[in-house]
Chains A and B, each alone.
Chain A
Amino acid sequence: MAKVRPKKHAPHTDMTAMTDVAFLLLTFFIMTATFKSNDAEITTPTSISQIKVPDDKIMVISIDKAGKVFFGVDAQPTRAAMLDNIGQAKGITFTDAEKAKFALQSSFGLPLNQLKPWLNMPKEQMSQVKQPGIPVDSTGASELADWVYAARKADSQLRIALKGDNLSKFPAFKDVLANLQSQNINKFNLITGSEQAPAGYTND
C-alpha cells in the first residue's frame, strides 16, 4: 500500500494578477491625488451649483465653526510677495528665512503681531500653535482687509473664494463681507460641496 503523504506544497494562488490590479489602482490614486490641507477643519455646506473652484490664482478666506478667520493663497511666490507687501505697509521687516517659511504655509490665522514669533518657531511647534484667527470686525478696516489688499497687490489676478463652515454664524460671514466690500470686491465664490439637484430641476 502506498503511503499517504502529506501534500508538499500548500495550494499556491497566483498573485500576479492581483499585484497588477493593486498597482494599477495605486497609480490612479497617486495621479489624481490632491492632498487634504490639514490647517483648519471646515465642513462646507452643499449646493447644487456645478461651477468648479478654480485651481490656481485663488485666495481662500476660511471661516471655521467658531467664527475664526483663516487666510490662504495658493501660489508660494505670491505668499512671499504678500508678506513683503504687508510688512512694508505695517513697517515690519521679515527676514528671508521667515519669508521662506511663510511661503510654505497654505493658510494661517494669526494676528499680525503674532506672526513673526510664530514664523520663528521650529516646524513642529508651528503646527501645534492654536491659531486665534485673523482679526476681523464689521468696520471693514481690520487686518483681513490688509491681507486681501497685500495679496491682490502681489497678484492682481487672484480670485477670491470664501469657505465657511456649516456651523459658523452669519455675523462672522457678514464681517468678512464688510472687509471685502470696503475694498470694492463685490463678486466672489462661495466654496461648497456638491449635491444632487432635486428631481425636476433643469439647468438653464
Chain B
Amino acid sequence: MAAIEESGGGGHGKGDGKVRGKKMSTRVDMTPMVDLGFLLITFFMLATTMSKPTSMSLAVPDKTEDQEKPTEPLKASKVLTLFMGDNDDVYYLDGIAADDDKAKTELKTTRYGHDLRTVIFASQKRINAANPKDKDGNEAFVVVIKPTEVSTYKNMVDVLDEMAITKTKRYALVDNLTDSEKEVLGDKIKPKN
C-alpha cells in the first residue's frame, strides 16, 4: 500500500500525555488525484459517442440503364400502398388501386411502429394466402412506399425498417404520385402553413 500508517503503536498512542518527536508522515493525500481522475473521466464520457451508429444499405434502381425487359404491371390486388403523410401519419390502400371508385373510402390511416407493422402483417398474410407464389418462388405481396413532400426522412427510415422487420422482400420506393392518388389523398399531403 502507498499509505503507511503514522503514529506507531496502537494501544498506548492515546491518553498517555507523553511528548514525542514528531514523525514525518509518509502518507500521500490522494484526494486531489481522485478529483482529477474523475474530472477527466467525466470529460471523456461526455465527449465520446459510445454507441457506434449503424447503417442500413439502400439500393435504388439504376436510372440511366435502359429498361430492356418491361416488367409485368403489378396487380393492385397484390399491392399494399403506403403513403407517408404529415405528422407521422401513414395512409394506406390495401389491395386496391387509387383509381378505383372505392379508393376514397378504403383509404385508412395508421401510425408508425407497432400499428403499421400490424397492418403490413395482416395484408401480407391475406395477399400471400390469396395468391400463389410466382414462378421464381417469390411471394405475391408487394409494398409500394410513396413518400410525400410533407413526410420526413425519419418516416422513410421507419418504413424501410418495417420492411426489414416484416421480411417483405419486394418493396418499391416511388416518389411521384399519380393524379388519382393525389385526388384520393387530397389535402392530407399539402404542406400546412
The answer to whether B54 and A170 touch across the interface, beta carbons within 8 angstroms, is: no
Of the listed stretches B38-46, B71-79, B94-102, B130-138, chain A binds B38-46
| B66 interfacial by beta-carbon distance below 8 Å | no
In the complex, 25 of the A-B residue pairs with CB atoms within 8 angstroms, ordered by the A residue number, are A2-B15, A12-B27, A15-B29, A16-B2, A16-B3, A22-B41, A25-B41, A34-B49, A47-B54, A47-B160, A49-B55, A51-B54, A166-B154, A167-B153, A169-B150, A169-B153, A170-B155, A174-B175, A177-B60, A186-B62, A189-B55, A190-B56, A190-B57, A193-B54, A194-B53
B44 shortest CB reach to chain A, Å: 4
| A123 interfacial by beta-carbon distance below 8 Å | no
Residues of B within 8 A of A182 (CB): 63
A197 to B161, CA, bound (A): 10
Residues of B within 8 A of A (CB): 1-3, 6-7, 14-15, 17, 27, 29-31, 33-34, 37-38, 40-41, 44-45, 47-64, 84, 114, 117, 147-158, 160-161, 164-165, 175
B89 shortest CB reach to chain A, Å: 14
Number of chain A interface residues as a range: 35 or more
The answer to whether B154 and A167 touch across the interface, beta carbons within 8 angstroms, is: yes
Known pairs A2-B17, A63-B153, A167-B152; list 11 more (Cβ under 8 Å): A16-B2, A26-B37, A32-B50, A34-B48, A48-B161, A49-B56, A169-B149, A170-B84, A189-B55, A191-B53, A192-B54
